[in-house]
Amino acid sequence: MDLQTFNAASRDAAIAALRPCADIPEWLAAVADARPYPTTRELWQRAAEAAKKWRVDDVDAALATHPRIGETATGAAAESRLSRAEQPQADPDTAALLAAGNAAYENRFGRIFLVRAAGRTARDILASLTERLGNPVDVEDAVVIEQLREIALLRLTGRITP
């Protein structure tokens, strides 16, 4: 969607355009309600500013429908399409290690493992997962919030164009 269309869209349509970036209701409303944006840069800055308010509970709710790293996202929804495009293909051994790591992470932290996968190899993601399993809960909470921010802002740059 281009910026002009986004600016002119109904509130519901604007929120729907943003939802695949991060399904956090307060963020969606803050970004949609600040329209019109003169430039995509100002849209991105508002989105980044609004994302600074995210709490771990917001992120956990948003992750409820997010696919696990290393698994193929199913469905035709925009978030599933974005996830499939972002995640690298893993060889069978790496895929098995990612699956085991995902299970260990969920057991330890009570949520799925989240990392900005775009531009990373499956081995890079596995290394990050392995490293983050050793984080204290409060540190990991901050890391997962930042990872969702990165993902949301990266996705936003591709969803709303000049």
Q: Record the pTM.
A: 0.85
Q: Cα-flanking dihedrals φ and ψ of residue 5, to 5°? A: -65, -45
| Distance, CA of 158 to CA of 7 (rounded, Å) | 16
Domain boundaries, the chain: 3-159
| Distance, CA of 120 to CA of 31 (rounded, Å) | 28
- Output the CATH code of domain 3-159: 1.10.3330.10
pLDDT for residue 84: 44
| Distance, CA of 47 to CA of 161 (rounded, Å) | 14
Q: Is the peptide bond prior to 88 cis by the omega test (within 30 degrees of 0)?
A: no
pLDDT for residue 71: 64
**Is there a contact between 147 and 115 (Cβ–Cβ < 8 Å)?**
yes
Instruction: Report the SS3 class of residue 1.
Output: coil
CB atoms within 10 A of CB 62: 22
Retrieve residue 154's tokens.
């990266």
- From the first residue on, what is the mean pLDDT of each consecutive set of 10 residues in the chain (162 residues)? 98 97 97 98 98 95 79 52 61 93 96 92 95 98 97 96 96
| Distance, CA of 50 to CA of 114 (rounded, Å) | 20
**Is there a contact between 151 and 22 (Cβ–Cβ < 8 Å)?**
yes
The answer for residues whose C-beta is within 8 angstroms of residue 1's C-beta and 6 or more apart is 9, 17, 159, 160, 161
pLDDT for residue 85: 54
